[in-house]
Structure 1
């Protein structure tokens, strides 16, 4: 039997799931600007502050929809750009507020995590040729590279105050991971290959140095000298952004991003370790994360001996698992990755996809029943939508650029 990854029929199923997710996402348009947090029923929570990371992710999602030719997505991209150049933008000091409401900014700290998503959203919108996107991208890149980039360590720092005068001592890997994604997208959108060298420095530090040195359990939290804080948040292990221990889904995401970088650099120019390290991260995630506690699914986090800590199942981890498997299959041709890909889509179809409510159930408990220990509601469709596209696109260029260049495989029925 041919692997699903090699069949037009599976690609058409993925396309249908893309459209279902885009349809669900439309309700997130906030009437005051940006995109709202959706609850389990898909209703916008208009009384909650509007989050920068959600607005950026959904602007990116709708830019991908526009590039797929889905009517109505383009105006939603414009709605996102208007919010990013309007209510989220700090006109006095530059940069973007992390959250806003009717009274203005709710959080004045400026963090690399959110600013990386501004770069991603602007990159995808620029490829989709939406008004104002190129100027937004130029500004977002300038802020990321002048305010957050730490050239000494080859990483991005975490958090500034509003006026860029006080830098928090905490350093985090999650923001660096999404900075790699943003730099890859921006390089594809602008043709600036210099951005790939920033991405390479981050990936080298995190994947080839830190992950390898810790048996592929990537440390997430650091002090200002980039010394690992292995016990950070031990008393708050289910923190949504800074959980204790090592995060299984991030190993899969780093594996995929390493392969995207390898393809963007060119296999002959990329360091030889990139493929081997991506394989090792994937293998570690399967070994320590997949169905290790008596039920199907990936645990959320493990300790430094590889024992499960938070056992909730996150939809985004399963999505990244399929994407990493598809990327490794594309890079190697190894059928084992195609088999894992099918296993995890079967799992997603069984427990995460909600055919009645729309979208995916964001979080499940260890018995695969709905949970809200870490996340409540269904705030965005970014991971899920990308999981429907990555198997149908080359590893480079980045998603939006590949869609813009017509590289989506089997987008139509063949005669």
Structure 2
């Protein structure tokens, strides 16, 4: 266990950590028959070579696109194209326009496991196309427009100014469940689409989503963001109560989503001159969400941010998840730069030191996925479905952006 730390406010620390993390995945994640392998043990061994999940397929495109922009390795750009091709030719439903949530891919043949359409999945499809464009893959620009139009037609609920969550493969059935998580990542994706295209309509959609969740919906829970709602966008306090560790829809308040929203709100606040509505609420809300998350979920005894807390503010899931720490690092850096407040740099250092000690695999690379409340690993599965360390490397890229802004302000 490490007791010495690098300078977490140095750009070289961030770039070296990104490179170290990429070495865990690249090139072992590449399936030359199409797409990427998604399931890795701690030492990098592939333990499931056939199952493909839409979330991992899209996040690997983000990983390679960002790595290409940072390190200029042409093989990374080749892998962006490789990933986009798999999305278009394997995940995408050419008849109905959606994307298979989960499938099996073996010897160049696919078998659909779950053909439902998820707004959460489409958000990452949009994110991946946007980052592909920013990496130089011009043909993905048309895919941005196509995906936004699909989300608009099939999931957008104009009366609530939010997206629905899940539909059947042929779009004939829209599930009654409504969730904030798909909308949060749709906000993230719209910000990326705006960065990729410069089109203000994407920024304005991100703004509308953010206000709907962080203001209107949060008002139902005392200013905090609950995860689950019915089809009238009223809180469903009991949804998944018996499934607190559900991969995409866990019960309880999610402090990691509070800090993730905090990060997105700071990024939105930086665009105030291009926003449509009053923006005075954005930065105070970002601060408040971050402060609540760390106040209620930081483990004072063992360190780290716990996964979930109940409506009575007691911890309901004391496990520590990698993405919660990573998103909180990014949020702390963004808030520190935007507000100039020392307390956010203090949190930044504190969360990094905890993560460097307990989550970062200094031997093999990448971060462990889940630790128990005593900071012990719960399994040797480093990367099951959905985990490509998009959160951890993404946090480092956000920090690099913050360090650039600090240099400009100096």
Query: Does TM, normalized by the shorter one, top 0.5?
Result: yes
Give the one of 224, 231, 242 matched to 2:238. Answer: 231
**Distance in 1 between residues matched to 2:402 and 2:199, nearest whole Å:** 19
Deviation at 1:13, TM superposition (A): 0.8
Aligned residue for 1:301, secondary structure, equals strand
**Distance in 1 between residues matched to 2:339 and 2:33, nearest whole Å:** 47
Deviation at 1:162, TM superposition (A): 0.9
Is the strand fraction higher in 1 or 2?
2
**Distance in 2 between residues matched to 1:371 and 1:215, nearest whole Å:** 34
Kindly report which structure 2 residues correspond to 1:260-299, keeping only aligned pairs within 5 A, or say none. Answer: 260-266=267-273, 271-292=279-300, 294-299=301-306
Aligned residue for 1:246, secondary structure, equals coil
Q: Are the counterparts in 2 of residues 240 and 374 from structure 1 also a CA contact under 8 Å?
A: no
Q: Are the counterparts in 2 of residues 112 and 157 from structure 1 also a CA contact under 8 Å?
A: yes
Kindly report which structure 2 residues correspond to 1:329-344, keeping only aligned pairs within 5 A, or say none. Answer: 329-344=336-351
Q: Are the counterparts in 2 of residues 196 and 265 from structure 1 also a CA contact under 8 Å?
A: no
- Matched with 1:111 is 118
Q: Are the counterparts in 1 of residues 266 and 335 from structure 2 also a CA contact under 8 Å?
A: yes
CA RMSD of aligned residues (A): 2.3
Aligned residues: 393
- Matched with 1:217 is 224
Deviation at 1:50, TM superposition (A): 0.4
- Matched with 1:89 is 92
Compute the TM-score of the two structures, normalised by the length of structure 2. 0.90
Deviation at 1:210, TM superposition (A): 2.6
**Distance in 2 between residues matched to 1:340 and 1:384, nearest whole Å:** 17
**Distance in 1 between residues matched to 2:56 and 2:259, nearest whole Å:** 22
Report which stretch shifted further, 132-141 or 282-291: 132-141
Q: Are the counterparts in 2 of residues 36 and 51 from structure 1 also a CA contact under 8 Å?
A: no
Kindly report which structure 2 residues correspond to 1:357-368, keeping only aligned pairs within 5 A, or say none. Answer: 357-368=364-375
Deviation at 1:337, TM superposition (A): 0.6
Give the one of 310, 324, 327 matched to 1:303. Answer: 310
Q: Are the counterparts in 2 of residues 187 and 196 from structure 1 also a CA contact under 8 Å?
A: yes
Compute the TM-score of the two structures, normalised by the length of structure 1. 0.89
Aligned residue for 1:300, secondary structure, equals strand
Q: Are the counterparts in 2 of residues 240 and 375 from structure 1 also a CA contact under 8 Å?
A: no
**Distance in 2 between residues matched to 1:374 and 1:306, nearest whole Å:** 30
- Matched with 2:79 is 76
- Matched with 1:176 is 183
Report which stretch shifted further, 166-175 or 377-386: 377-386
**Distance in 2 between residues matched to 1:59 and 1:364, nearest whole Å:** 27
**Distance in 1 between residues matched to 2:149 and 2:50, nearest whole Å:** 30
Deviation at 1:48, TM superposition (A): 4.2
Q: Are the counterparts in 1 of residues 367 and 382 from structure 2 also a CA contact under 8 Å?
A: no
Deviation at 1:213, TM superposition (A): 4.2
Classify 1:161/1:377 alpha carbon distance in 2 versus 1 (closer, same or farther; 3 Å): closer
- Matched with 1:149 is 156
Q: Are the counterparts in 2 of residues 392 and 409 from structure 1 also a CA contact under 8 Å?
A: no
- Matched with 1:413 is none
Classify 1:270/1:342 alpha carbon distance in 2 versus 1 (closer, same or farther; 3 Å): farther
- Matched with 1:404 is none
Deviation at 1:265, TM superposition (A): 3.4
Q: Which runs of 5+ in 1 are unaligned?
A: 396-406, 411-415
- Matched with 2:12 is 12
- Matched with 1:39 is 41
- Matched with 2:329 is 322
Classify 1:375/1:74 alpha carbon distance in 2 versus 1 (closer, same or farther; 3 Å): closer
Find out whether 1:380 has 2:388 as its counterpart.
Answer: yes
Q: Which runs of 5+ in 2 are unaligned?
A: 1-6
Classify 1:118/1:299 alpha carbon distance in 2 versus 1 (closer, same or farther; 3 Å): same
Deviation at 1:206, TM superposition (A): 1.2
Deviation at 1:85, TM superposition (A): 0.9
Q: Deviation per CA, 1:350-370, whole angstroms, max 9, x where unpaired? A: 001111121111110111010
**Distance in 2 between residues matched to 1:128 and 1:143, nearest whole Å:** 23
